[in-house]
Amino acid sequence: EIVLTQSPATLSLSPGERATLSCRASQSVSSYLAWYQQKPGQAPRLLIYDASNRATGIPARFSGSGSGTDFTLTISSLEPEDFAVYYCQQRSNWPNTFGQGTKLEIK
Amino acid sequence: QVQLQESGPGLVKPSETLSLTCTVSGGSVSSGSYYWSWIRQPPGKGLEWIGYIYYSGSTNYNPSLKSRVTISVDTSKNQFSLKLSSVTAADTAVYYCAREKQWLDYWGQGTLVTVSS
């Protein structure tokens, strides 16, 4: 099973700042990686797929990059609604797996 | 707009079978373009993919749960279902159903299932 390790576990930033979240895979997943956002009491929402493509309706401040084993989700300028937990997920090898999450909190 | 809704008991006794159904509206489980998945999330923890089914009935299960999981589809009711047998407290989680077209693009709201006597 491919293990996805996200860092940091918690990121404390202020609105308007730039957020950089990392996801590292235990083996190459090519570009078969997605990012999801989850707010309390809600289901996850697809943000980025195939490492760098924004899902429908996702604002341009969200961007993804990387391939192989190292991936980054960047939020260029944080809005109040962006504070949430973010998960990466791979579909290169079954079982599809998720990272343990990065909590983005207001500083 | 596609919507998914989980339903089923919120409390299951240890050693019994957890049964949940996902009803799909605004789309068809018979569409050959999608897979239909179950994912779970223990309270305060991360996400675990349980498995998925195609409209034809073909399935794929997480090896960690494979011996206890059955996912089925009822195209006449536009539903798919999850059964997890021999549950323990470790199976307490929010269970989500979701649509997958390479990625999970539509999710149900989730339902909390607690395993307790």
| pLDDT beyond 90 at A107 | yes
Partners of residue B102 in chain A, C-beta under 8 Å: 49-50, 91
Nearest-neighbour CA in chain A from B75: distance (Å) = 24
> Could you tell me which chain B residue has the CA closest to the CA of A102?
B46
A7 band by pLDDT with thresholds 50, 70 and 90: very high
CB contact under 8 A, A97 and B49: yes
**Residues A48 and A58 sit within 8 Å (Cβ to Cβ):** yes
The position carrying tokens 């989730």 is: B110
Mean of pLDDT values over B92-110: 97
Dihedral, CA atoms, B62, B65, B70, B71, nearest 10 degrees? -40
Angle made by CA atoms A49, A54, A56, in degrees to the nearest 5: 105
- The partner residue sitting opposite B46, judged by closest CB among A87, A91, A94, is A87
Angle made by CA atoms B84, B90, B94, in degrees to the nearest 5: 70
**pLDDT the model gives residue B31:** 85
CB contact under 8 A, B103 and A43: no
At B15-26, the pLDDT tens digits run 999 999 999 999
Mean of pLDDT values over B92-117: 97
List C-alpha distances in Å: A5 to A101, B3, B7, B57: 8, 31, 32, 33
CB contact under 8 A, B110 and A49: no
Sign of the CA dihedral running A14, A20, A50, A27: negative
At B66-100, the pLDDT tens digits run 999 999 999 999 999 999 999 999 999 999 999 99
| Residue B33 vs residue A32, higher pLDDT | A32
Residues in chain B: 117
At B35-68, the pLDDT tens digits run 999 999 999 999 999 999 999 999 999 999 999 9
Nearest-neighbour CA in chain B from A79: distance (Å) = 23
What number of C-beta contacts closer than 8 Å exist between A and B?
46
Enumerate chain A positions whose Cβ falls within 8 A of a Cβ in B. 1, 34, 36, 42-46, 49-50, 55-56, 87, 89, 91, 94-101
Closest CA to A73 of A30, A32, A20: A20
CB contact under 8 A, A34 and B96: no
CB contact under 8 A, B63 and A95: yes
CB contact under 8 A, B46 and A96: no
Q: Which of residues 3-42 of B touch A (CB under 8 A)?
A: none
